Structure 1
Amino acid sequence: MKPFIYKTILLSLLLFLITGKPAIAQVRPLTMENAVKLALEKNRDLQVATLETTKSAQKVREARGYALPTVAASAQYLYFPQKQVSFLPGSFVGLGENQLATFRVGGSNAFVGGVAVSQPLFQAGIGSAIRAAQIYENASAEGLNEVRAGVVTDVKKAYLNVLITQEQLQLQQQSLLRNEQALKDSRSLLAQGRASRVDTLRAFVSVENLRPEISRLSNRVEITKTILKRTMGLDEQEAIELQDSLQYDKTGLVVPGADAFFEAVQARPEVHRLELTERLNREQIALQTAERSPKLSAIGLIQSQAQANNLKLADYSWPLSSYVGLQVSVPIFSGFRTVSRIQQAVITRQQSETQLVNLKEIVRAEVKIGISNVEEARLRIETQRQTVTVAELGYRITRDRWKQGIASRLDLSDAELSLTQAKSNHLQAVYDFLTASVELDKVMGRIR
């Protein structure tokens, strides 16, 4: 066995020297601020929204291109197994007046090449198309801000979920330590004849009842960390360690004033995006209406063509022909398609107007609810802080009375449970306050 062990150790050392990497994975320390920065760099939803803004810029460029000239080059080669036929009056070759003479003309090989140019001079829809594309670009930018606000909010809430789960785990571990100490004291008192066997059994049951909850919370910590990493866009295998803790700091919260609704409407990217969408739909109406207008373009063509019965291109003659002119297109009847498209654009604009009104009412309700949630959580924190202090004092007094034989084991269990519950309620109130504050920032449009 010893040679095998030596070989294993040597192989491990050799692999370490070759790779230069330790076996222990690196842990990324993570504050909430750093988590947000990483999410803005790596979150895939945000990357998709960024690409959408890039695409919208290309739509503006495309719309402007309709006002520029169109240049097209063409080339053609034709082979005629039977040459083309031309018809002439029969009198040209001595036939009757009512007869036609046929002649085969041209060569077996034909080459045609040219360049055509078309420049719009008047086209009513071009201006509307450019404005529509620019509005769409601005709406895409607001959509990016909306996604960014959602990502920042989700990351902060996921970060807080990890923190409260870790704090709950620590709280249960502290409760386990208190109950284990109580079990130790109970066994000592039982040995001295100062405690009953029932009290010792109750202490043992209390200890064992806490172990499954600790196991559940330990697993919950890993789950919440996985959710946080996914929200940030980090690899699931990467280890992270949170540096912040759940702390109540009311000085950092800016509570909105009486004009909170107007502040939120002016700052929310969703409202801006829908306002731009309503303007876009108005331009779509103008764009569809422009289809009824005539179109005027300047056109030109220069081409060369040659024919022969052989493929000796050096002997070909390449005469040029060209023309310039104006082309007018006047729509007369399109099977009611244009009228239908205009009506569709009108209905879409009405839908966006209704959605905008509805969104503003939603924002009004969200602002009211957000302020209420923050205030309610703040009041609970103040109340629970006093409750924790009283519960700690009560537990210490009950524990001392129990050791002196004045209080029962049941009284001690109730005091310990009350202390754990008070700390848990205070922890939950702090978490609710921080979560409500993050949500309120999003509601007020403070996240950009």
Structure 2
Amino acid sequence: MNHTGDYMVINCINRILFSISMLACILIFLPFTLNGQENETYYFNIDDAILRALEQNNQIKAGEYGIQKAKWDKRRAQTALLPTVTFNTRYTWIDDETYALRDFSRYFRDGGMDSTMPGMNFDIPQTVFQNSFVTSLDVNMTLFNWMVINGLSIASATENAAKYQSNSTRDRILFEIIAGYMNVLYNQEILALQTDYLGLSKLNYDKAVRMQEAGRYSKVEALRWKVDYQQQLSLVENGKSQLRSAKAILRRMLNIPMNALIQVDLQIPDRFITESEKIKLMTAENIIDTINVDDEKLIEINAALKAMESNTEISKLLYKNTYEKFAPTISLNYQYAWRENNTIELDDYSPQTLMINFSFPLFSSFQDYSHLKSSYYEYRQNKELFEDQLKNTRYILTETVNKIINLRTQIELSKTNIEYNEHNYRIVEQQHEKGLISNIDFIDAKLNLQNAKLSDVRNNYDFISAILELYYLLGDLERFIPDYLSKN
């Protein structure tokens, strides 16, 4: 018995150990499996990003669905002018007392009280039944209705507004995609420069520590190199954070999972370089002339303004539509029916009715008038907002052009500044090796060169982004879109 008990205890312990080992394996390998499934890497260039946005961006697809909805709304408005045909059948049951009061034909039937009355040589047909059926075909058609007529104009304007709004959304999303992609490239290039300088600062700091230990550097000089290293380390961490934010924005606009990894092509497309070089060759007056267009032309080329103008037009039509409450309505009704009887079968007698209905409102407790005034002020509100947006667009265009002119000058300055600081750094480096200058002067020369390169990168990317914004506001964003993806 003791051997049997020991065997059962050992068997139970083995099962527990096996279960624990299986659970440990699951806990160890499950995270790797989940990471392999979730952290998918997406590789794409700017053309791939544009294509993905056109195919998968929710706002662009919503705009396309909005166009389809507006088309069907227009068709529905057109059908309001067509006649409607309905088939009607009614069943009625009345109680005995009511039936006796309504049915007079029984007084003219044979027998007793129901015999034919003297002098009556005809029978009155029965028109009231205790159980009765009525069947008819009814045709209704609007002859005049201000709301229906104006509704056609509203439906057409709504369809146009949906198209303009879809184009505006498409241009805005593509502008944000391209700008977001360029922001990723900018942050990656800045981070690469900062990382290189971090490595150099680490080497200089390690060298300073060794020199201090050898008694050739003071503690202040060593701390100065440590401060420089810590500054570079902080810049690198900040650069990584900026790059993560830029990639997160790009993921969001491209409908890529937030936990996915993305790798972008580091090459700036040639068409971007070509446009930037073209702008650099233009004079300031020529650049300013690009925005000298009249209001009508600006509204026509700017998708956002065109969409807003169409919405203002809709509010105007809605305001005019409120006058239908004060206008008459005329409709035509035609009925082809079968006589009411006590069977569902249709008889030979088919009465026909043609009716023209004229309706004119006289008084509605000022509800219609208050609605009219409300619609009017809503239209005026939208019109003022549109005028404000037009002026704001002109202001943004002016600021964008000024930015382009200023950045073009800054790019030339940064190139000269880099050339100067590179030459100065080489001289200072040689003098530092000979012990002719202090560490502080050497670090300052290195930082000046670093800042000059960072400023040059920033100016070039800001210049391309400003050109992109200019063409976006002028409705010419398609020149940055590949031909096979262009809506033109």
The answer, yes or no, to whether TM exceeds 0.5 is yes
Distance in structure 2 (CA, Å) of the matches to 1:36 and 1:366: 25
How many Å apart are 1:184 and its aligned residue?
Answer: 4.9
- 8 Å Cα contact 2:39/2:259 also seen in 1: no
CA displacement, residues 310-341 of structure 1 (integer Å, 9 cap, x when unaligned): x8x67x86853332232222323333333333
* Residue in 1 that maps onto 2:198: 176
* Residue in 2 that maps onto 1:264: 298
Distance in structure 1 (CA, Å) of the matches to 2:462 and 2:68: 38
1:420 corresponds, among 418, 429, 450, to 450
Change (3 A) 1:347 1:201: closer
* Residue in 1 that maps onto 2:133: 111
* Residue in 2 that maps onto 1:49: 63
Supply the AA of the counterpart residue of 2:93: Y
* Residue in 2 that maps onto 1:129: 151
1:86 corresponds, among 102, 105, 108, to 102
Q: Does 1:251 align with 2:273?
A: no
Q: Does 1:280 align with 2:314?
A: yes
How many Å apart are 1:403 and its aligned residue?
Answer: 1.4
* Residue in 1 that maps onto 2:264: 242
CA displacement, residues 353-394 of structure 1 (integer Å, 9 cap, x when unaligned): 323332322222121111011111221111111112222222
Distance in structure 1 (CA, Å) of the matches to 2:37 and 2:251: 22
* Residue in 1 that maps onto 2:368: 338
Q: Does 1:289 align with 2:315?
A: no
How many Å apart are 1:426 and its aligned residue?
Answer: 1.7
* Residue in 2 that maps onto 1:100: none
How many Å apart are 1:258 and its aligned residue?
Answer: 5.8
How many Å apart are 1:271 and its aligned residue?
Answer: 2.6
Distance in structure 1 (CA, Å) of the matches to 2:357 and 2:132: 29
Supply the AA of the counterpart residue of 1:225: K
Matched ranges for 1:341-360 at <5 A: 341-360=371-390
Change (3 A) 1:195 1:351: closer
CA displacement, residues 275-318 of structure 1 (integer Å, 9 cap, x when unaligned): 3334334433443324433322221112335544xx8x67x868
CA displacement, residues 22-58 of structure 1 (integer Å, 9 cap, x when unaligned): 8896533222232222212222122222222222112
Q: Does 1:383 align with 2:413?
A: yes
* Residue in 2 that maps onto 1:166: 188
Q: Which stretch of structure 1 is more off in the superposition, 283-292 or 370-379?
A: 283-292
Structure 2 residue runs of 5 or longer lacking an equivalent are 1-17, 115-125, 479-488
Change (3 A) 1:193 1:346: closer
How many Å apart are 1:68 and its aligned residue?
Answer: 0.5
Supply the AA of the counterpart residue of 1:168: I
Q: Find the residue that maps to 2:351 and give its secondary structure.
A: strand
Q: Find the residue that maps to 1:352 and give its secondary structure.
A: helix
- 8 Å Cα contact 1:261/1:364 also seen in 2: no
Supply the AA of the counterpart residue of 1:49: G
- 8 Å Cα contact 1:69/1:118 also seen in 2: yes
Change (3 A) 1:147 1:57: same
Q: Find the residue that maps to 2:289 and give its secondary structure.
A: coil
- 8 Å Cα contact 2:291/2:397 also seen in 1: no
How many Å apart are 1:427 and its aligned residue?
Answer: 2.0
RMSD, aligned CA = 3.6
- 8 Å Cα contact 2:50/2:174 also seen in 1: yes
How many Å apart are 1:71 and its aligned residue?
Answer: 1.5
Matched ranges for 1:152-231 at <5 A: 152-186=174-208, 195-196=217-218, 198-231=220-253
Distance in structure 2 (CA, Å) of the matches to 1:170 and 1:423: 12
Q: Find the residue that maps to 1:111 and give its secondary structure.
A: strand
Change (3 A) 1:364 1:202: closer
Distance in structure 2 (CA, Å) of the matches to 1:105 and 1:324: 22
Supply the AA of the counterpart residue of 2:69: K
Aligned residues: 421
How many Å apart are 1:256 and its aligned residue?
Answer: 5.2
Structure 1 residue runs of 5 or longer lacking an equivalent are 95-103
Of Structure 1 and Structure 2, the greater strand share is in: 1
Q: Find the residue that maps to 2:143 and give its secondary structure.
A: strand
Distance in structure 1 (CA, Å) of the matches to 2:325 and 2:83: 20
Supply the AA of the counterpart residue of 1:244: L
Aligned sequence identity (%): 20
Q: Does 1:401 align with 2:464?
A: no
How many Å apart are 1:269 and its aligned residue?
Answer: 2.0
